[in-house]
Amino acid sequence: MQQNPYPDGSFSSEPTEANPVPAQDSIQSARPVYPQYVQNTPPVGQHVAYTEIERQNAERVVAEQDRAYTTAFTVGKVIDYIGWVLLVLEVALAVRFIFKLIGADPTNPFTNFLYNLTNIFLFVFKGIVANPTFGANGAEVLEATTLIAMAIYGLIFLLLKLLLRTAISRPNEPVA
């Protein structure tokens, strides 16, 4: 067995088979003595003013972060609302396309309402391409104008979303 490099250390006072229970005095002497620390109080004089400046700077940084988070949250919500509006518009245009394709009766109140509502969004795209008609009496229409409008509105939303995300992202963050 190796020799103990610390002959007067606490190893001799620990219980072993040879030394079953140490005396109470040796236990007290074996415990380490830790220094007593005084509560961290700021020094008097110029350092107190320095800590006040640090506190004010920390409060300013927290306030700026809160404003940044609020702005990012607001822009995120605007993107969400625009996404919902686009979804409703795309569904309405898709239903119009299907109704025109199957030749739904335009005098029906629901189809009349849908056609009038979506005409507002298709006004800009009227006349870009001819919409071919087919069927027995020409009631079915393949409205390519509606498909073009759906694609353009989708692209406008994606570009607007990318612009808004770029406006709130940090320079080193990925935008997508």
- CA–centroid distance for 70 within its chain: 12
Residue 173 confidence (pLDDT) above 60: yes
DSSP string across 37-93: PPP--PPSSHHHHHHHHHHHHHHHHHHHHHHHHHHHHHHHHHHHHHHHHHHHHHHHH
Residue 30 confidence (pLDDT) above 60: no
- When mean pLDDT is compared over 2-11, 82-91, 124-133, the highest value belongs to 82-91
What digits encode the pLDDT tens for the residues 42-55?
Answer: 555 545 556 888 88
Name the residue ranges covered by the structural domains of the chain. Answer: 78-168
What digits encode the pLDDT tens for the residues 61-71?
Answer: 888 888 888 88
> Are residues 12 and 19 in contact, defined by beta-carbon separation less than 8 angstroms?
yes
pTM equals 0.62
Sort 145 into a burial class: Cβ within 10 Å, 0-12 / 13-18 / 19+: buried
> Are residues 125 and 149 in contact, defined by beta-carbon separation less than 8 angstroms?
yes
